[in-house]
Amino acid sequence: MKDTAILLIHCPDQQGILASVTQFLNKNNGNIIYLDQNVDRAESIFFMRVEWELDQFAIPREKISDYFETLIAKKFNIRFTLHFSDERPRMAIFVSKMSHCLFDILSRHLSGEWIVDIPLIISNHSDLEPVAKRFGIEFFCFAKDSKTKEEQEVKEIALLKDKKIDLIVLGRYMQVLSDNFVSNFPNEIINIHHSFLPAFAGAKPYHAAHERGVKIIGATSHYVTADLDAGPIIAQDVVRISHVDSIESLVRKGRDLEKIVLSEAVYKHLQRKILVFNNRTIIFN
Amino acid sequence: MKDTAILLIHCPDQQGILASVTQFLNKNNGNIIYLDQNVDRAESIFFMRVEWELDQFAIPREKISDYFETLIAKKFNIRFTLHFSDERPRMAIFVSKMSHCLFDILSRHLSGEWIVDIPLIISNHSDLEPVAKRFGIEFFCFAKDSKTKEEQEVKEIALLKDKKIDLIVLGRYMQVLSDNFVSNFPNEIINIHHSFLPAFAGAKPYHAAHERGVKIIGATSHYVTADLDAGPIIAQDVVRISHVDSIESLVRKGRDLEKIVLSEAVYKHLQRKILVFNNRTIIFN
Amino acid sequence: MKDTAILLIHCPDQQGILASVTQFLNKNNGNIIYLDQNVDRAESIFFMRVEWELDQFAIPREKISDYFETLIAKKFNIRFTLHFSDERPRMAIFVSKMSHCLFDILSRHLSGEWIVDIPLIISNHSDLEPVAKRFGIEFFCFAKDSKTKEEQEVKEIALLKDKKIDLIVLGRYMQVLSDNFVSNFPNEIINIHHSFLPAFAGAKPYHAAHERGVKIIGATSHYVTADLDAGPIIAQDVVRISHVDSIESLVRKGRDLEKIVLSEAVYKHLQRKILVFNNRTIIFN
Amino acid sequence: MKDTAILLIHCPDQQGILASVTQFLNKNNGNIIYLDQNVDRAESIFFMRVEWELDQFAIPREKISDYFETLIAKKFNIRFTLHFSDERPRMAIFVSKMSHCLFDILSRHLSGEWIVDIPLIISNHSDLEPVAKRFGIEFFCFAKDSKTKEEQEVKEIALLKDKKIDLIVLGRYMQVLSDNFVSNFPNEIINIHHSFLPAFAGAKPYHAAHERGVKIIGATSHYVTADLDAGPIIAQDVVRISHVDSIESLVRKGRDLEKIVLSEAVYKHLQRKILVFNNRTIIFN
């Protein structure tokens, strides 16, 4: 596998963008190994993800951003982010007492399914410290109540910055993060909510689903924003239930949904396949 | 196929109900051809549907209800409804301008998939009168505005009672029925809502789903109650969507969901496989 | 809605194709309203569907094919088909005795969901003639046995050619078409098989599924080729079943799958969103 | 939670079974906390799972089997198995080199999702020994080739018998077990096959699925019998794919299916909710 560069692009739709971008890469000997694009016709916005090999590429990697800005982006009013395949994201996992999402993430990490570093796990309880130890990952406990939450978050943010974390995964972390916390990590916090959002936002969604008598339950992974459970949705999945399912049975069936949907979202993020626009996600192929 | 009787039962859970009911049928030579039961452990309620052949049954059909009440139901505080397989339900269909649910229902009726009479179609517009004609079914148009709604509903109710209608199917009928109307047909009106309820209740759910950026859309069939889109859910189904789907595309994909989910609910109702309890449904196998 | 042209393209993958094609359209004032492309990395084949408005396009529609061949296709060894949005496909439906797929197709046609002409329905039985009449479509019965099959097919082919049919939909037509018949309509015959192919190819798939004890059944729409049930798959869908489902219940649940999956395939074909390569389909967004 | 007894029953369908069994339990003060039954009408077989509390039950647990046989089973020609909720099944896991199923099982075990003992892991390679160590479970490596397979299996069987194993889970164990091995553990070996059986039985199903161009892939858990991939199916699930998915992408998507479907089957087995009849499974609610 050669090293590659990845561009995520959006701009007002107009003639010639696709041709210009691909020509820019072709001319400079960038062998394109992935390209996915689409146009939102209603809002007239062009979206694109393109990935190309760096080894023959004429422009040195540290100058790509500058050249692309000058030669292409300005003309089309493009906003873009540039990533390199050899950048290894650094992920922190936040958990409370339930372990199923944590196990699923650590298993994928350890087995090499995901290319990511996980320097630490943070929790408001010590219950899952043994799991962290079993996988050899540092565990920090920041207990919180309404009085201590603010100062504890300050410490958490400092720790995360110190560890150079660029992705925070909330694996059933049963605490609401403050606006201040969230604003430090825009589109860098992924949560799993145990319902088919926007249905049953907030606390105890399985109880609410049972009470309402739905025939299908779901799970939703999303970027965390200041509005609770209202950030851009990354992935959702559902499972059929029936009148014979008790709340305990919903919780059991939901666990499998939650861990798979959360991990799918994290995978897409790590692959740089997500672009956020207007509180919605474009998930490239 | 022999004529059968069908009992739908619920009562506080207690020892001996199942044995007593099955013995009652066995002793009187009622050959059981279907039995499904379950207990809601959280609320301690027993639910059951049992169906048996009438030809050898010792109790004449007109006396079954009385005997069952006296010999069994009283003892266990059972509430029940009794149906006979040779009763042919009489269904009215309410539509507005969209035809997909109407076509689906009429096709099933005409092909013999469903055992039901459909004496009439009611609409607030005349657009679908040609479809009614094509299938040879009487069509009535009751245009409504905020002033005329009440009197038009009075006429509709009179017509429905006159035609001995015992099931009303709202096949994308874009009008809210008044509490008075609904109270005339308790658990006898089935609606299809074009979202995964309780998400996106009310108007324009596909627009709302697109705006929210969900990755899955759904449709929900339910009994109509006084609370809009809040009645007992009978069936739900979903389909995956992505950022490339426009609102038009959601509408197109949703049509197929809507007609299938509505027809599934109607089928279950016609089979007497639905029991409503506490605004939830028990859907027997 | 303006008239558009649609190009379906495939060729060996190489630098510059995408840029060349989009430039060709841009330079000649073809406003692109749809573009979807992908590369099969394993086989190194480039696939693309592009659609653009004709009204400002500099090249007259009757010359587009020639110009594209000369200026672009030759260079990249592209194979392509060109379609125009104002071409109205002409579809024939083949049925036997079951009506659910037929009703579904005719309903979509009549309601304007699909832009297509349906000049005739062909069957080996007369059972569904009343349905054809109800929808005002000519019905032809070609009864077949092992002796008459060949001559009957000759008549069918003549009739289909005479009616300028360019799409044949087999809506549960319970006859195998001869190789000769199929070779007259390459990638123009769509069948629905009532199983999750390649499982349960051939006759009585629901019986076979029940016998095997599967927990999910499916339906598969595919282009018909000389090999029975082995043509390029267009669409598939599944539904969960359980040990309580009898064969009759599988048949009932399967009907809904069949009609929806068949209609989905026909829709994609009518939209010119299918490209066949190596007995597989590329289904554009 | 009180200790319970569980009966799994099947017999020719006939009047009075259900009443007799429930009366037997009621009379002897067995409080029924679960009952699910159904009749296969085509084959006229009655199936049932019933669970009741032991604390007030008049018959001592060691005599239940004898009493039930004498008083009920003989009369109705019932075949049954009796289990107790405080019996802790002993599971062995067989793996090769892939870890995703193993991690999923060990995580559920460690987190207390499942009540089971896992005394050992067996493999034909040493790759996953570190995973076994991490979870503190004994690991045995039995390398096999065509010459050594028979003797190695003899050792494995001896070890499994010595460890009193009553459930063997093949978590992507890439070896076919001999008939002799299988006959030692009837309905006690659960395998996960990475396809939607009976499609793509045998080796390399993802390659075969890609080659065939299916639009949905699946995974199937089943009891192992002498016929390869042909044992009673316990659980299946599927995921949609498209032409953009490479074989690698199918493998990635399939991993999640495999682990969830395998674990679902194991869970049902541990709950004593599976009855095998005629190479099919009845999966109770």
Question: What are the pLDDT digits (tens) for C245-284?
Answer: 999 999 999 999 999 999 999 999 999 999 999 999 999 9
User: What is the rounded distance in angstroms from the CA atom of residue A69 to the CA atom of residue A10?
Assistant: 13
Cβ atoms of C140 and C120 within 8 Å: the answer is yes
Å between A41 CA and nearest CA of chain C: 8
**D32 at B interface, C-beta within 8 A:** yes
Q: Which residues of B102-114 are buried (b: 16+ CB within 10 A; e: fewer)?
A: bbbbbbbbbbebb
- Structural domains of chain C sorted by starting position, each given as residue range(s) with its CATH number in brackets: 4-84 (3.30.70.260), 90-283 (3.40.50.170)
Give the pLDDT band (50/70/90) at residue C1.
Answer: confident
Partner-chain contact D31 B38, CB within 8 Å: no
> Look-up: residue for tokens 């009168």?
B129
Q: How many CA atoms lie within 13 A of B32 on its CB side?
A: 27
Structure-block tokens of residue B203: 């108007």
Element (H, E) at C203: none
Cβ atoms of A111 and D103 within 8 Å: the answer is yes
Q: How many CA atoms lie within 13 A of A212 on its CB side?
A: 26
Given its phi and psi angles, is residue C147 left (phi above 0), alpha (psi -120 to 50 degrees) or beta?
alpha
Cβ atoms of D168 and D189 within 8 Å: the answer is yes
Q: How many CA atoms lie within 13 A of C30 on its CB side?
A: 26
Partner-chain contact B107 C113, CB within 8 Å: no
Q: Which of A229, A237, A245, A256 is labelled catalytic?
A: A229
Torsion of CA C22, C28, C34, C36, to 10 degrees: -20
| pLDDT exceeds cutoff 90 at A1 | no
Structure-block tokens of residue B48: 């059951």
**A67 at D interface, C-beta within 8 A:** no
Helices A100-110 and D100-110 meet at what angle, rounded to 10?
A: 150
Helices C205-212 and C247-270 meet at what angle, rounded to 10?
A: 130
Residues of D in contact with B13 (CB under 8 A): none
DSSP per residue, B108-137 = HHHHTSS--EEEEEEESSSTTHHHHHHTT-
Partner-chain contact B215 A196, CB within 8 Å: no
**B240 at D interface, C-beta within 8 A:** yes
Which neighbouring-strand residues pair with B95?
Answer: B123
Q: Which of B33, B34, B111 to mutate to test the interface with C (most CBs of C within 10 A)?
A: B111
Q: Indicate the residue type of B195.
A: S
Partner-chain contact B243 A280, CB within 8 Å: yes
What is the pTM (predicted TM-score) of this model? 0.97
Cβ atoms of C3 and C54 within 8 Å: the answer is yes
Q: What are the angstrom distances between the C-alpha of D194 and each of B101, D204, D246, D269?
A: 38, 9, 16, 20
Partner-chain contact B256 C244, CB within 8 Å: no
Question: Do you know the residue count of chain C?
Answer: 285
Helices B247-270 and B205-212 meet at what angle, rounded to 10?
A: 130
The predicted complex's ipTM stands at 0.96
User: What is the rounded distance in angstroms from the CA atom of residue D178 to the CA atom of residue D192?
Assistant: 17
Q: Which of A111, A238, A264 to mutate to test the interface with D (most CBs of D within 10 A)?
A: A111
| pLDDT exceeds cutoff 90 at C81 | yes
DSSP code, position C159? H
Element (H, E) at D110: helix D100-110
Neighbours of B171 (CB within 10 A): 28
Cβ atoms of D177 and D224 within 8 Å: the answer is yes
Structure-block tokens of residue B127: 């657009």
Cβ atoms of D264 and D235 within 8 Å: the answer is yes
User: What is the rounded distance in angstroms from the CA atom of residue A110 to the CA atom of residue C42?
Assistant: 28
Strands of C4-12's sheet in order across: C32-40, C45-53, C4-12, C79-84
User: What is the rounded distance in angstroms from the CA atom of residue C74 to the CA atom of residue A71?
Assistant: 31
> Look-up: residue for tokens 């002796």?
C147
> Look-up: residue for tokens 């009438």?
B54
Cβ atoms of A93 and A191 within 8 Å: the answer is no
Torsion of CA D25, D29, D31, D34, to 10 degrees: -10
Reference A139, options A158, A159, A109; nearest CA is A159
pLDDT 10s per residue in chain B (285 long)? 899 999 999 999 998 999 999 999 999 999 999 999 999 999 999 999 999 999 999 999 999 999 999 999 999 999 999 999 999 999 999 999 999 999 999 999 999 999 999 999 999 999 999 999 999 999 999 999 999 999 999 999 999 999 999 999 999 999 999 999 999 999 999 999 999 999 999 999 999 999 999 999 999 999 999 999 999 999 999 999 999 999 999 999 999 999 999 999 999 999 999 999 999 999 999
Element (H, E) at A101: helix A100-110
Residues of B in contact with D37 (CB under 8 A): 35
Partner-chain contact B198 A199, CB within 8 Å: yes
**A285 at D interface, C-beta within 8 A:** yes
Residues of A in contact with D103 (CB under 8 A): 103, 107, 110-111
Partner-chain contact C19 A33, CB within 8 Å: no
The reported pLDDT for the residue numbered A38 is: 95
Residues of B in contact with A282 (CB under 8 A): 243
At C35 the three-state DSSP class reads strand
Structure-block tokens of residue A238: 């559902």
* C-alpha dihedral sign at D138, D141, D142, D146: positive
Cβ atoms of A32 and A56 within 8 Å: the answer is no
Phi, psi of A43 (to 5 degrees): -105, -5
Q: Which of residues 38-57 of A touch C (CB under 8 A)?
A: 38-39, 41
Residues of C in contact with A19 (CB under 8 A): 18-19, 22-23, 26
Reference C76, options C105, C106, C45; nearest CA is C45
Q: Which of B166, B229, B245, B256 is labelled catalytic?
A: B229
Chain B neighbours, 3+ Cβ pairs < 8 A: A, C, D
User: What is the rounded distance in angstroms from the CA atom of residue A134 to the CA atom of residue A124?
Assistant: 19
pLDDT tens per residue across span A106-155: 999 999 999 999 999 999 999 999 999 999 999 999 999 999 999 999 99
Q: Indicate the residue type of D38.
A: N
User: What is the rounded distance in angstroms from the CA atom of residue D235 to the CA atom of residue A253?
Assistant: 14
Chain D neighbours, 3+ Cβ pairs < 8 A: A, B, C
Q: Which of C13, C200, C214, C215 to mutate to test the interface with D (most CBs of D within 10 A)?
A: C215
DSSP code, position A71? I
Partner-chain contact D22 B26, CB within 8 Å: no
Cβ atoms of C191 and C161 within 8 Å: the answer is no
pLDDT tens per residue across span A30-52: 999 999 999 999 999 999 999 99
Q: Which residues of chain D have pLDDT under 70?
A: none
The reported pLDDT for the residue numbered A111 is: 96
**B244 at C interface, C-beta within 8 A:** yes
